[in-house]
Amino acid sequence: MSCIFCQIVDKRIPANFIYEDDAVVAFPDINPQAPHHYLVVPKVHYENLLAVPKDSDVFNRVYSAIDQVVNKAGIAETGFRVVVNTKDDGGQTVPHLHFHVLGGRFMTWPPG
Ligand code: 5GP
Ligand code: ZN
């Protein structure tokens, strides 16, 4: 398995987990775009947002993880942005479903 996020989930590639449970991990992005930039990653390999089975509870599990990450990081009050780049036009570069959580600065709109 060459998927880089599967290797991080399996702890074969190091990352500083800010959060982990049986379904999800979260760790800082290696190329941060904000003072706080975390990747919230389901442990099961889904290629993208559309690859998740309809009966999966993964989105509930990710939501719960994001809630805990933003509180732990101290950005729950000031605010943050959650981004899921999906496929080529969405700018997805790692084909393992992940949620960017960005905070610690004002986010402009529209995104690039
Ligand atoms: P995408 O472009 O697919 O939306 O997001 C992939 C993200 O993964 C990028 O922001 C990139 O910086 C990050 N990334 C890629 N490889 C690694 C890695 O080995 N470790 C960490 N922590 N982040 C990574
Ligand atoms: Zn994977």
CATH, residue 48: 3.30.428.10
Give, using CA atoms, the residue closest to atom 24 of ligand 1: 30
* 80-108 pLDDT per residue, tens: 999 999 999 999 999 999 999 999 999 99
- The answer, yes or no, to whether residue 1 has pLDDT greater than 70, is no
Other CB atoms closer than 10 Å to residue 31's CB: what's the count? 6
**Domain for residue 21, yes or no?**
yes
pLDDT at 55: 96
111 part of a folded domain: no
Ligand 1: residue whose CA is nearest its atom 21: 30
**Domain contains 109:** no
Domain assignment present for residue 110? The answer is: no
Does 108 fall in a domain? no
Residue pLDDT, tens place only, 53-85? 999 999 999 999 999 999 999 999 999 999 999
Confidence (pTM): 0.98
What Å distances lie between residue 26 and 8, 19, 42, 53, 112, CA to CA? 10, 5, 9, 22, 24
The pLDDT of residue 7 is 98
In a domain, 46, yes or no: yes
Number of structural domains (the chain) is 1
Residue 15 CB–ligand 1 contact under 6 Å? yes
Full residue range of the structural domain in which residue 24 is found: 4-103
Using DSSP, how many helices (H) and how many strands (E) does the chain show? 2, 5
Q: Is 98 a catalytic residue?
A: yes
| Residue 91 near ligand 1, beta carbon < 6 Å | yes
